[in-house]
């Protein structure tokens, strides 16, 4: 889990490490000329954990078909290149990405884990320490019924029908992950939602399986 920080030092989105020089995030997080610092090994944003690694983002590659003006959340995935490679250790480590079919099967197989420093309440203040949450995967029919907004094939829903726990503003771009034993695979990217943790509403995520080839 990486924290993306603007030129004022404020965190605005998350990202996941796929190798020493590249991260994956949500395309809607970034504009073309944005000045972005990626902080890996972060835990408490208000103090020095002595584990952080800060890198400049030198290239932003949204998915080629991403078109912010047409639909901000369609194909909501992007790759970020870092100026210097990260040093991997027990605090900074890449997440695995499997094949398309493997990723699809794993996704629908059980609950996922989401994380970030986003808001603790809708429009509320951001978390100071990294928050981690397990969320149930929601089948497509239930997902479509929960909203009047179009849920495309490239998206999926996850969360609690009763509400109360969810990703929120500032968590976008962060990982939705499934584990097999101790190995974690990236199956989704936090994308959007209607408010946060509302009963009958779910968090909406970009389906990584659809973009594995491109990545």
CATH of the domain at 162: 2.40.10.10
* Domain annotation covers residue 63: yes
Residues 67, 130 share a domain: no
Give how far Cα 69 sits from Cα of 25, 28, 154, 204, Å.
Answer: 19, 10, 18, 19
Residues 77, 150 share a domain: no
Residues 136, 200 share a domain: yes
Higher pLDDT, 31 or 187: 187
* Domain annotation covers residue 89: no
The answer to whether residue 191 scores a pLDDT higher than 80 is yes
Mean per-residue pLDDT, 76-82: 98
The answer to whether residue 212 scores a pLDDT higher than 80 is yes
Give the residue numbers marked as catalytic.
28, 76, 172
* Domain annotation covers residue 182: yes
Residues 193, 107 share a domain: yes
Least confident of 34-38, 82-86, 131-135, 182-186: 34-38
Q: What is the pTM of this model?
A: 0.96
Work out the pLDDT band at 31, boundaries 50, 70, 90: confident
DSSP letters, the chain, are: -EEEE-TTS-EEEEEEESSSSEEEE-GGG--TT---EEEES-SBTTS--S--EEEEEEEEEE-TT--TTT-TTTT--EEEEESSPPPPSSSS-PPB---HHHHHHHHTTS-EEEEES-BSSTT-PBPSB-EEEEE-EE-HHHHHHT-SS---TTEEEES-TT-S----TT-TT-EEEEEETTEEEEEEEEEE-SSSS-TT--EEEEEGGGGTTT-
Residues 191, 105 share a domain: yes
Mean per-residue pLDDT, 159-188: 97
Mean per-residue pLDDT, 161-188: 97
Work out the pLDDT band at 69, boundaries 50, 70, 90: confident
Q: Which residue is listed with tokens 């890198």?
A: 55
The parent domain of residue 137 ranges over: 100-210
Residues 114, 171 share a domain: yes
* Domain annotation covers residue 60: yes
Domain boundary among 49, 82, 115: 82
pLDDT tens, position by position, 113-143: 999 999 999 999 999 999 999 999 999 999 9
Mean pLDDT over the full length of the chain = 96
User: How many structural domains does the chain have?
Assistant: 2
* Domain annotation covers residue 87: no
């Amino acid at each position: 889990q990486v924290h993306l920080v603007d030129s004022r030092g404020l965190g605005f989105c998350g990202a996941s490490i796929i190798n020493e020089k590249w991260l994956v995030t949500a395309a809607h997080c970034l504009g073309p000329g944005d000045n972005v610092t990626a902080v890996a090994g972060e835990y408490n944003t208000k103090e020095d954990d002595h584990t952080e690694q800060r890198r400049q983002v030198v290239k932003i590659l949204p998915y080629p078909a991403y078109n912010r003006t047409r639909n901000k959340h369609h194909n909501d995935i992007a790759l970020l290149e870092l100026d210097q490679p990260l040093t991997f250790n027990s605090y900074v480590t890449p997440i695995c990405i499997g094949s398309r079919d493997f990723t699809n099967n794993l996704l629908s197989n059980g609950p996922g884990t989401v994380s970030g420093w986003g808001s603790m309440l809708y429009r509320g203040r951001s978390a100071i320490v990294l928050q981690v949450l397990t969320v149930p995967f929601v089948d497509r029919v239930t997902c479509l019924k929960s909203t009047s907004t179009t849920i495309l094939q490239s998206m999926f829903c996850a969360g609690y029908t009763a509400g109360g726990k969810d990703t929120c503003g500032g968590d976008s771009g962060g990982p939705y992950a499934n584990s097999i034993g101790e190995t974690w695979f990236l199956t989704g990217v936090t994308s959007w939602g209607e408010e946060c943790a509302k009963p009958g509403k779910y968090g909406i995520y970009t389906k990584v399986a659809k973009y594995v080839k491109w990545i």
